[in-house]
Amino acid sequence: MIATMQTIDAQWESEATTGHVVSGELDLTHKVILYLDDITVSFDGFKALNNLSLAIDAGELRCIIGPNGAGKTTMMDVITGKTRPDTGTAFFGQTMDLTRMTEPQIAHAGIGRKFQKPTVFEKHTVFENLELAMKADKRVRRALFARLSGEERDRIAEVLKRIRLDRHADRVAGLLSHGQKQWLEIGMLLMQEPRLLLLDEPVAGMTDEETERTAELFVSLAGEHSLVVVEHDMSFVGALGGKVTVLCDGAVLAEGDLATVQADPRVIEVYLGR
């Protein structure tokens, strides 16, 4: 066991020194945290993204809407390194070329993604879920033998309060409601200290009250974090405020505040009018 742990530790240290683990400060000189330029992705001849260009400012809360098949998921796949574009560039800040980075490198650099269905450790408590997600030295020796410092406990307590699960810290995650599991997963992302959060239909299946609380949470996170929210619930999008980008056929169809894009005849035809 000790020999195995030493081997894994050595591999981790090797990655950290050879560039397989991304480090360094995010360069926000131009106040843009994410820049996609002429991104094209094709699957068997079908263009899921078609010369997509998009810029997200640091601290911005942006909503992405559009019909099914518009390219929303593929866009997030490109940002997180799951899918490589055929053409185009994608930058995180001014210096990090996402098209040349692996998925772990991108996550380590500060991009967190939440899928529609919550994924939590259901047999562990809420507190333990946040502890497991904490951004820290992931080497085996650290994971097995470390104890939480006072600062780390304070960090978990801060996130628990923010996601409104401070009264449920000792509750097994599997017993939480659907909405609470969504909040817990968002909390787990926050423990990674991301600068950019990608959130895919975060209020799907939530009650009206849970949806309202989620909107309040996202608005409170903006500024400290940048958020890109893919959503179909127009009431929720309206509660978030800010700029809305409409995708269609893999490209940007319209941008503006919600009232502006809802009044756009092209948006009505391809999305809202259906």
Task: Check pLDDT > 70 for residue 7.
Answer: no
Residue showing tokens 């929303």: 72
Task: Check pLDDT > 60 for residue 75.
Answer: yes
> Span 2-12+30-272: which CATH code?
3.40.50.300
Helix (H, G, I), strand (E, B) or coil at 172: strand
Task: Note the pLDDT of residue 105.
Answer: 95
Chain segment 131-146, per-residue pLDDT in tens: 999 866 555 445 544 6
pLDDT band at residue 240 using 50, 70 and 90 as cut-offs:
very high
Full-model pTM: 0.86
pLDDT band at residue 4 using 50, 70 and 90 as cut-offs:
very low
DSSP 19-60: TSS--S----TTSEEEEEEEEEEEETTEEEEEEEEEEEETT-
Task: Check pLDDT > 50 for residue 239.
Answer: yes
Strand-by-strand arrangement of the 251-256 sheet: 111-114, 196-200, 226-230, 61-65, 244-248, 251-256
